[in-house]
Amino acid sequence: MKPFTYLTPTTVEEAVTLFGQHKETARYMAGGTDVIVKVKEGWMAPDYLINLKQIPGLDDLHKNGATGELTIGALVTHAMLEQSLLIRSEYPIIYDAVSNIGSLQVRNMGTIGGNLINAVPSADGAIPLIALDGAALLKGPEGERSVMVKDLFVQPYETVLTPGEILTKITIPAQAPRSGSAYIKFGRRAAMELPLIGIGVLLVVDEDLATCTRARICLGVAGPTPLRAQKAEQLLKGQPVTPDLLTEAGKLAADESQVRDSVRGQAWHRKEMIRVQVRRMGLRCLDIINQKARQV
Amino acid sequence: MTKTISFILNGDEISCDIQDHWTLLHLLREELGLIGTKEGCGNGECGACTVIVDQLAVNSCLYLAADIQGKQVQTIEGLAVHTGSLHPIQQSFVDNGGIQCGFCTPGMIMSAKALLDKDPEADQEAVKHALAGNICRCTGYVQILDSVAAAGRQMAGKKTDKAAGYGDPGPVTRQPGDQTAGEVTP
């Protein structure tokens, strides 16, 4: 591996300053599961790697009891999310997505922030955060700003982050009552594999437990960046959610997707699976909503 | 850049000089002479280089040596107790034929240990989930899963038995001529 100098700041400000000193010869690194591979393969050749792991607070994971807002620090690892009872019980869509990223060894190191910044079209970590209307806080030389996770991605491997900016945390607003969410990573095998297609669905229903008041249908590997099937979402909104309506939503989502042929699968297969899985994930959302309603 | 780090390796406190760009795998194999940990793909895909850092299984090929400052590292060399008897997971791999060529075995055993230390009664799904990042190209997965399950049963049964003689690895006895951390001159 090409030698580099490893810098370990202890505040975000210090990290940004270090980047300012070394500019394009420096790269930030979180868990390292992507950056180290890229340095080893020569796809990236930084003279300075700025380690973000020793900055206190960046691995914060908590829900604010008063506002119901969930904070996920950018340095929270996939394994921390997978093993969190809060995530498993209240945000199953996040659990579904992160528990099969890479392998346990990778999940013990890789972070949710790194997963987003890497900006691969398949980013398992991004889909649930988009479905949950998550926002990313960015800090950089010009100060800080907040960007919706759905707007982070420009094209494969490119985000809206400007040089020197650091993703510090993701916040997720309080979940509406009577909401359910589910994600499926669909592919040949779960572990050590990118998905053929990733589908995340979130539904919120009215007090009648049928009429949809909010729908999110998020697709991974269905275009150059993670995308929302907004026509399908519109179809559901204001309507009683039935299996037939979910079938229609699946068809619309498949039509809206920008799937293509790749080494992992053909476009027609991806479309078919979007059609089938949007319906299945929608039904799973309804199950979750009904289960919760019975518990109240 | 060269820096000095201190950490606990298989129960022994050591400090050594490292280069910033060294991986933990490089430090273990090339500098400390602990060649039980294997390099397969070098990209975090195969799990042959799995070691345990602060109770978590990680790919040592992607883990920078600089990041183990102050941490506890366990490698396959730390498993057998210094009297020479094998750790129950190692013994179980021998007894159940969980080994063919042996190249994936140290990684498999370290992944299994990270799981069974937390939950010796892990069911087969949990074992599969924990070992999914360890690839065996001799296709011996059934025996490997059997080996881990049998070791788990034994560890669960003996968990309260203080005289069992295994558990956290004791100090590793090095033979005369072995390279120790203090002698490393990168």
pLDDT digits (tens, 9 = 90+) for A209-229: 999 999 999 999 888 899 999
Nearest to B25 by CA among B81, B63, B77, B80: B63
Q: Tell me: domain B2-80+169-183, CATH 3.30.460.20, correct?
A: no
Query: Is residue B122 helix, strand or coil?
Result: coil
Instruction: Select the CATH number that applies to the domain covering B88-164 from these four: 1.10.150.120, 3.40.470.10, 3.20.20.10, 3.40.50.2300.
Output: 1.10.150.120
SS3 percent helix, strand, coil of chain B, rounded to 5, is 35, 15, 45
Sign of the dihedral through C-alpha A260, A147, A60, B44: positive
The CATH number of the domain holding residue A254 is 3.30.390.50
Tell whether A183 and A281 lie within a shared domain. Answer: yes
Assess A176–B contact: CB distance below 8 Å, yes or no: no
pLDDT band at A281 (very low <50, low <70, confident <90, very high): very high
The ipTM is 0.91
pLDDT digits (tens, 9 = 90+) for A145-190: 999 999 999 999 999 999 999 999 999 999 999 999 999 988 877 6
Assess B170–A contact: CB distance below 8 Å, yes or no: no
Residue B159 has pLDDT above 70, yes or no: no
Q: Is residue A56 in some structural domain?
A: no
- What is d(CA B26, CA B29) in angstroms, rounded to the nearest whole number? 5
Longest Cα pair distance anywhere in chain B, in angstroms? 48
Q: Which two tokens stand for residue A222?
A: 């269905």
What mean pLDDT is reported for chain A? 95
Q: Which residues in chain B have their CB less than 8 angstroms from residue A103's CB?
A: 44, 47, 59, 132-134
Tell whether A184 and A156 lie within a shared domain. Answer: no
The CATH number of the domain holding residue A74 is 3.30.465.10
Q: What is the dihedral of CA B97, B100, B102, B106, to 10 degrees?
A: -40
Comparing B2-80+169-183 with B88-164, is the CATH topology the same?
Answer: no
Please state the domain count of chain A: 3
Q: Domain ranges in chain B?
A: 2-80+169-183, 88-164
Tell whether A162 and A223 lie within a shared domain. Answer: no
Residue in chain B nearest A77 by alpha carbon: B56
For A29, the domain range is: 5-51
Give the bridge partners for A77, in sequence order.
Answer: A111
Last residue of a domain, one of A172, A200, A218: A172
Q: Number of A:B CB contacts under 8 A? A: 82
